[in-house]
Structure 1
Amino acid sequence: MNGANTAQTLSARGYSVLLVDKGDFASGSSSRSSRLLHCGLRYLAPGGSLWDFVRHPGRFAVACRMARDAMISRARFVELTPERVRPLSFCFPVYDDSPYAGWQVDAAFALLGRLGGRSVPLDYRRLGAREALKAPLLEHLRAPDRLRSVAMFREYQFDWPERIAMDAVLDAERMGATVRNYTPVTHMARKGDGWRLELADALDDAAPPVSVSARAVFNMAGIWIDDVNGRAEPDGASRLITGTKGCHIVVRLPPECRDFGIATLNRLNEPFYCIPWRGLHYFGPTETLYEGDRDDIHVTPEEIDFLIGEANHLLPGLTISRSDVLYTWAGVRPLTYDPAQPLGARSRDLHDLSPTGMENVFAMTAGPIMSHRSAGTIAADALAPKLAPSGPAAEPSYAARPAADIHRAVAEEQAETLVDVMFRRTGKGWSETMGREEAETAAEVMGEVKGWPRDRIAREVADYLEYLRRTHTLPA
């Protein structure tokens, strides 16, 4: 998401831009988040207690900066691209044993209101327990006798973050950028006052590598940033990424709950949500250190059990079981490596790697989806003193493009696999059945456009179903 917007912003300023992704666009962490254009409240909740900020004032300063970025980004996105978000009524329960008292929650929302984005209000209010327990979903809360109040506020949701990234990619292309998916960088070497990059074709092992020259490189590869830096000569960059895994489970709750969500803390004092989405709800995320295969990220049975346990602790009246889980998803956050913070720092940083010998190479860590448009501005501003644009400026478009039909997805939007079409071009994969019943028809249409033989069409359907089973725990 951050790389797509950086390409869009640089193209708008008149730079000559090449955007490459080793897989499909937005197929990594950008498609695996909690999908919230959130107000930044979680940055003001350090975990244990507010005394954590007293002991570490620098962290409080970072928290305020990130919360301000969230509020400003929230307002700008809602104003410029309202088609890609929907408002939600969110609730934050306050118990007698909560780590944060009601007045502290009031103070946090007052601070958020002052930090920015006032044109899209929070609609904050705090209800007494008796009144709150009459609302749908909240009637199922645990320990009603210990509930002191419920903070109510307006939140927004990215309904389809992958398509937001695709919109930015296609707009960059409209303004002159060259964009290629399934094109990994295999080697980078300093050459003169620029870089020579070797690019491969991930879909054709027999294709020869391609070399391109660039005066500057933005490594926006998320959880793969350190891998890309490791392919450079010289590679003076130190470790930049700590990955933490966030898992979600999707269930169907009573229909009267469809417009209500809950933001709270789980029993580990980590952020935990119950979020409505497309007639369903999802619970999550988890937050655990991830050092596994970054190309095979999925929810494990133990993580499903953990999320069910936390869901039932929060809403025991719903008695959610394993059979209620329709599907799952998991992603890894590309947080900033900090030896003092084992789970990484949430401060978004653009690293200029020039002091390490990697002249004019930049990398962005901990860039959340919600503030991706300002990420492009930060990147372009960092490049401006070092390199002037080579062409005229253009006006970027943040309007939502309509979902592609399959023909256009293949012919104009570089969809190469059935997964690309179903999840990141048409959105058919994000249904209760994850598009399983439409997979064969969609593959046949792809086959017509691409000239696939019958066995290739059958293999594409089989690969899609295996992807659902492996990545989303969809039952056979």
Structure 2
Amino acid sequence: MQQPPGISTLNRNQILQELPAEKFDVIVIGGGIMGAGIALDAASRNLKVLLVEKQDFAAGTSSRSTKLIHGGLRYLKNFEFGLVRSVARERKILHHNAPHLVTPEPMLLPVLKNTSYGYLATALGLSLYDFLGKVSPTERHRMLGKKETLQLEPLLNPEYLKGAGYFYEYRTDDARLTLEVLKTAQAHGATCLNYTALTSFSYNTDKQLNGAILQDQLSGQTYAVNATCFINATGPWVTELMAQDQAVKGPGLYHTKGIHLVVPRNRLPLHQSVYFDIPGGRMLFAVPRNQITYLGTTDTPFTGNLEQPEVNREDAAYVLQAINQMFPKANLNLSDVVSSWAGVRALLYDPGKKPSEISRKDEIYVSASGLISVAGGKLTGYRHLAENVVDKARALKFPQLKKKSQTKNLTLSGGDFHNLKEMKQFEATCLQLANTNGLPPERIPILIQNYGSNTNLVLEKARKFKSQGANTEIALLKAEIWYAVTAEGATNLADFLIRRTGMLYFEREKIEGILPDVLSIFQEKLGWNDETAERSKNDFLNLYQAAVAFKDAKN
């Protein structure tokens, strides 16, 4: 089988070496969901695009969110009706373009005694939510009494419960969504490189940006590149890059940390997601997913390491206390937590407001040298914001470009399904292929969640490995690594076990048993020497252990 379409690590060195001879229309700095969306929007308008990311794709905030494409219900509390309207409608577009990754899920919003929002206010809020988001009739909310709510979710605390709103949100895997957007951008002619840092800019005689120096973080080699337009989509690092361009003060950014805890599903066996108020103005999610339930999130000021924010003991205790108050029969404690993650949000500073009160609005800035920077924003609204950024670039740098954004109706990689019926038919075909070839059928739903219509490529490769003598588990593992390396730019164990498969978060208990095989397969596939293999293993083990370390908060 030839290499599948996508981003291949095997071609990476050749692509880097050819960069100096290229002239790009647009260079996007940042490989999270925002940068990915901009790259796709620009490439689908026939602009020549290079995207670079200093870490792995989606290594920052774009793999550390609550993993929901939600309509911004809580933003109604701040009367941000325009934001709610925009993101609620965006989620419908994303569901249409990537149905394997953006799936509707029922959610309960409990109405509690002695809280600021009673039964009537909740009903009115959900009605407004349905109206602003043009929610389809099958997904519109309904209000439930206490008895019906407890029938749906018996674990809820009856002492505080008055009833609930029952509505739909959309679940995703943020890292996988970012990868599918990047792969689609690559299919439209973009060049996407991870572990490639922009170290400096260069300027023409008019003091306008026209080039940059890139450094390959794997080899240390540097490369000069040229472009007409540079777009800064680095999320929490946006002001750092703006200062690198010009020593002027950028927008006021306020970094906040959001953490999530993972517990086994049997310790909190919810029947649907629950979204509820907690003291301090925050709202908390409890989201069941396959064999786990994850809990979050917080919204606390953050000034630490942006690349590796940690979940400390205080963070975990705060979430567990709130969860135990809502679900007292669970009686969760820190020993129940099997994994965790923390992400950093970059909010536009609004003096005098608490983190939870600061708007999730976005802004586009243009420096005197022509650097376009985007700050703020959120996962759900990435596509529309990317369209606005490229429109700004078109107005400033490409006035002759007439082509408008194509992404509203652009199917993402893996999303080749017209409706749910086609997805079910595809799943049945994959199950038949698995059963025929002795592959584990219980893995099919998870594979389709991850890879969508590309699952057949993984299964066909697994069948080939099995025919060559590999046992069932190793054959499928080798096939997933093959796909991660040849189509999704994976370069090390952490790339695969965190952002390509989500195993560190959702199946951490399995990692210890398969880690030697994963290391062996990577070493063979990428030609690592023993020193490189040991370094990749140790780098991952540090992250593996950090997921349950829960150190004391630093004063």
TM range (shorter): 0.7 to 0.9
The SS at the match of 1:139 is: coil
Structure 1 residues 451, 381: closer, same or farther in 2, change over 3 A?
A: same
Structure-1 separation of matches of 2:54 and 2:168: 37
| Superposition deviation, residue 446 in structure 1 | 1.1
Structure 1 residues 469, 181: closer, same or farther in 2, change over 3 A?
A: same
Partner of 1:195: 210
The SS at the match of 1:140 is: coil
Please say if 1:422 is aligned against 2:497. Answer: yes
Is residue 133–residue 139 contact of structure 1 (8 Å, CA) maintained in 2? yes
Is residue 25–residue 166 contact of structure 1 (8 Å, CA) maintained in 2? yes
Per-residue CA deviation, residues 107-137 of structure 1 (Å, 9 max, x unaligned), is 11121122134347533111111221222xx
Please say if 1:469 is aligned against 2:482. Answer: no
Structure-1 separation of matches of 2:66 and 2:545: 20
Partner of 2:393: 383
Structure-2 separation of matches of 1:348 and 1:190: 31
Structure 1 residues 146, 350: closer, same or farther in 2, change over 3 A?
A: closer
Partner of 1:67: 84
Please say if 1:460 is aligned against 2:508. Answer: no
Unmatched tracts of structure 1, length 5 or more: 47-59
Q: Give the TM-score taking structure 1 as reference length.
A: 0.88
Candidates 252, 257, 260, aligned match of 2:269: 257
Partner of 1:246: 258
Structure-2 separation of matches of 1:73 and 1:309: 34
Aligned residues: 450
Partner of 1:448: 524
Partner of 1:231: 244
Partner of 1:271: 283
Higher mean alpha-carbon deviation, 251-260 vs 265-274, is at 251-260
Higher mean alpha-carbon deviation, 270-279 vs 22-31, is at 270-279
Structure-2 separation of matches of 1:348 and 1:151: 26
Is residue 185–residue 200 contact of structure 1 (8 Å, CA) maintained in 2? yes
Please say if 1:150 is aligned against 2:164. Answer: yes
Structure-1 separation of matches of 2:218 and 2:279: 44
Superposition CA RMSD, Å: 2.5
| Superposition deviation, residue 177 in structure 1 | 1.3
Is residue 201–residue 211 contact of structure 2 (8 Å, CA) maintained in 1? yes
Per-residue CA deviation, residues 245-298 of structure 1 (Å, 9 max, x unaligned), is 001111124489343111011122201111111221111101101011112211
Opposite residue 122 of structure 2, the aligned amino acid is V
Partner of 2:51: 19
Structure 1 residues 222, 182: closer, same or farther in 2, change over 3 A?
A: same
Structure-1 separation of matches of 2:156 and 2:527: 55
Candidates 101, 106, 113, aligned match of 2:123: 106
Partner of 1:348: 361
Q: Give the TM-score taking structure 2 as reference length.
A: 0.76
Q: Larger helix proportion, structure 1 or 2?
A: 2
Per-residue CA deviation, residues 184-228 of structure 1 (Å, 9 max, x unaligned), is 1112243244332221122233x2x22222222211101111111
Is residue 350–residue 362 contact of structure 1 (8 Å, CA) maintained in 2? no
Structure-2 separation of matches of 1:210 and 1:295: 24
Structure-2 separation of matches of 1:369 and 1:305: 27
Candidates 310, 327, 331, aligned match of 2:339: 327
User: Percent of aligned pairs with the same residue?
Assistant: 26
Please say if 1:210 is aligned against 2:223. Answer: yes
Per-residue CA deviation, residues 374-414 of structure 1 (Å, 9 max, x unaligned), is 12211112222222289997885424253662123223432
Please say if 1:6 is aligned against 2:21. Answer: no
Is residue 140–residue 316 contact of structure 1 (8 Å, CA) maintained in 2? yes
Structure 1 residues 23, 78: closer, same or farther in 2, change over 3 A?
A: same
Structure-1 separation of matches of 2:344 and 2:507: 22
The SS at the match of 1:398 is: coil
The SS at the match of 2:259 is: strand
Structure-2 separation of matches of 1:123 and 1:376: 29
Unmatched tracts of structure 2, length 5 or more: 1-32, 415-450, 459-479
Higher mean alpha-carbon deviation, 87-96 vs 281-290, is at 87-96
Per-residue CA deviation, residues 17-54 of structure 1 (Å, 9 max, x unaligned), is 110011000011010011111121111124xxxxxxxx
Partner of 1:97: 114
Please say if 1:88 is aligned against 2:105. Answer: yes
| Superposition deviation, residue 7 in structure 1 | 0.2
Structure-2 separation of matches of 1:146 and 1:474: 30
Per-residue CA deviation, residues 55-94 of structure 1 (Å, 9 max, x unaligned), is xxxxx3xx11111122101111122211113332211111
Opposite residue 195 of structure 1, the aligned amino acid is N
Is residue 39–residue 182 contact of structure 2 (8 Å, CA) maintained in 1? yes
Structure 1 residues 308, 146: closer, same or farther in 2, change over 3 A?
A: closer
Higher mean alpha-carbon deviation, 115-124 vs 183-192, is at 115-124
Partner of 2:412: 398
Is residue 242–residue 373 contact of structure 2 (8 Å, CA) maintained in 1? no
| Superposition deviation, residue 438 in structure 1 | 1.8
Structure 1 residues 334, 471: closer, same or farther in 2, change over 3 A?
A: farther
Structure 1 residues 265, 358: closer, same or farther in 2, change over 3 A?
A: farther
Partner of 1:38: 70
Q: Spell out the pairing of 1:110-129 with structure 2 (5 A cutoff).
A: 110-119=127-136, 122-129=139-146
